[in-house]
Amino acid sequence: ETGVTQSPTHLIKTRGQQVTLRCSSQSGHNTVSWYQQALGQGPQFIFQYYREEENGRGNFPPRFSGLQFPNYSSELNVNALELDDSALYLCASSIDRASYEQYFGPGTRLTVT
Amino acid sequence: SQQGEEDPQALSIQEGENATMNCSYKTSINNLQWYRQNSGRGLVHLILIRSNEREKHSGRLRVTLDTSKKSSSLLITASRAADTASYFCATDANTDKLIFGTGTRLQVFP
Which tens digits make up the pLDDT trace of B42-84? 899 999 999 999 999 999 999 999 999 999 999 999 999 999 9
Q: Could you tell me if B25 lies within 8 Å of chain A, comparing CB atoms?
A: no
Residue A87 has pLDDT above 50, yes or no: yes
- Best B9, B21, B87, B96 member to test A by mutation, with max A CBs in 10 Å, is B96
Q: Do B42 and A59 touch (CB under 8 A)?
A: no
Which among A41, A90, A99 has the least Cβ separation from residue B97?
Answer: A99
Could you give the C-alpha distances from B26 to A2, A57, A64, B29, B71, in angstroms and in order? 30, 19, 27, 9, 9
Higher pLDDT, A38 or B98: A38
Could you give the C-alpha distances from B23 to A106, B33, B79, in angstroms and in order? 24, 10, 19
Could you give the C-alpha distances from A103 to A38, B33, B55, in angstroms and in order? 20, 12, 23
Residue A33 has pLDDT above 60, yes or no: yes
- Best A5, A44, A99 member to test B by mutation, with max B CBs in 10 Å, is A99
Residue A106 has pLDDT above 50, yes or no: yes
